[in-house]
Structure 1
Amino acid sequence: MRRLAVYCGSATPADPRFIECAQATGRTLAERGITVVYGGGRLGLMGALADAALAAGGEVIGVIPAALVGMEVAHRGLSALQVVGTMHQRKQAFTDLSDGFVTLPGGTGTMDELWEALSWAQLGYHAKPVGLLNVAGFFDGLLQFAATMAEVGFLRPQHRGLLIASDGMDDLLAKMAAFEPATAIIQMQAADL
């Protein structure tokens, strides 16, 4: 993996563990020579991630919609900043530029990015690993929800391994490196669905 899209929040929560996680993620990826592709913001976890990666000598590519640049939340010190027209174009750029996806804590936008990456993997629009760093148990409920989707039958057995979760970055990256794509829905017969 040479480039990873990192999804995370633009907020700064009161609990310092979340900012520390973003900083550690940025440093770890830079130290491993992995380019960070992220939402291009300078605030919250996004800014902490980018600043830490840059400080560690890493390459950071931001992808941000023009409307957010106008709000002056764009990070101007990145290796590259791509300005796009829409959120859809932003997510397509994340997929095009990256070899996989890592999700850190965040809000609605972060969840949107995660679910789209998973949905596209399930459908077969990409065959890249989708990782989830479960900092301080932040994603425990989401992981339980994914298990419930599988138990009820809304998540096919062959797609249960698409979400790769860990509470440690080194372990998460190792699991992502070992990822084997599942049979995509577009490769299945109607009787298998």
Structure 2
Amino acid sequence: MAAICVFCASSNTVEQRWLDLAAETGRALGQRGHTLVSGGGSVGMMGTVAAGARAGGAHTLGIIPQCLVDLEVADTASDELVVTADMGGRKNVMIERSDAFLTLPGGLGTLDELFEVWTTATLDVHHKPIVLLDPDGFYDGLVTWLNGLVETKFVRASAMDTVLVARSVPDALDAVEAALGA
């Protein structure tokens, strides 16, 4: 069906509930016949979503910069592993190789990836769906703050319409599939 890029935390110190969410997301992607595009790491939620996707029958494409390969955190079990020169190259390949983007809870790297695809979408560089999977309000503060930026004219209201928020894995995948016309 679609190549869905999942952005999420790669930290080994996240709570088990986030790892469970990542595993559920990966399995659901596979069960629905999608390909997982990930940051190519084998640790944290990133490694867990990839393992879940493979368990669900998904093809997995990992995209990782050489510096992280050198740290021995590459998901060598990926069906395809693309190694880029740097983090910027990684994001470019992720955008090129994906049909849609799904953001799970995460930290600075996750937010960097989310804002990259969100910004490029608002600039009409791509027209690919972007969904925040927010099961318990993890991103509520961010969304509230960004809506405040609309009021001050730092963000266009149409930009806020570019990202969909879903509260469950099935709802997130339904939103992606509906946006893709699948």
TM class by shorter chain equals over 0.9
Q: 1:14 to 1:157 in 2, by over 3 A?
A: closer
- What amino acid is the match of 1:69? V
How many Å separate the matches in 2 of 1:152 and 1:12? Answer: 38
CA distance in 1, matches of 2:34, 2:54: 12
Number of residue pairs aligned between Structure 1 and Structure 2: 180
Structure 1 runs (4+) deviating above 6 angstroms are none
Alpha-carbon deviation of 1:14?
4.7
Cα RMSD (Å): 1.4
Matched residues in 2 for 1:67 and 1:159: separation?
Answer: 33
Quick one: which amino acid aligns to residue 87 of structure 1?
M
Contact 1:105 1:135 in 2 (8 A): no
Corresponding position of 2:148: 148
Deviation at 1:150, TM superposition (A): 1.7
- Tell me what 1:177 maps to: 177
Structure 1: 5+ residue runs without aligned partners? Answer: 181-193
CA distance in 2, matches of 1:93, 1:163: 21
Alignment check: 8 A CA contact 1:18 1:135 kept = no
Aligned-partner Cα distance in 1 for 2:160–2:40: 31
Gaps of 5+ in 2: none
2:105 and 2:29 map into 1 onto residues whose CA distance is 17
Q: Which residue of 1 aligns with 2:107?
A: 107
State percent identity of aligned pairs.
Answer: 38
Offset, 1:151: 2.1
Q: Would you say 1:22 and 2:12 are equivalent positions?
A: no
CA contact (8 A) 1:101 1:130 kept: yes
Report what 1:185 is aligned to: none
The Cα shift of 1:12 comes to 3.2
Q: What residue is the counterpart of 2:8 in the other structure?
A: 8
Alpha-carbon displacement from aligned partner over 1:72-103 (angstroms, at most 9, x marks no partner): 00011111100000111100111111101001
Partner Cα distance (1:57, 1:103) in 2: 21
Which one has a bigger Cα radius of gyration?
Answer: 1
Give the aligned residue type for 1:79. Answer: D
Give the deviation of 1:116 after TM superposition.
0.6
Query: Taking structure 1 as the reference length, what is the TM-score of the superposition?
Result: 0.88
- Mapping 1:3-152, distance limit 5 Å: 3-152=3-152
Q: Which moved more, 1:55-64 or 1:168-177?
A: 168-177
TM-score, normalising length from structure 2? Answer: 0.94
Deviations 1:21-56 (A, max 9, x none): 000000000000110000001100001001111112
Q: 1:12 touches 1:19 (CA, 8 Å); kept in 2?
A: no
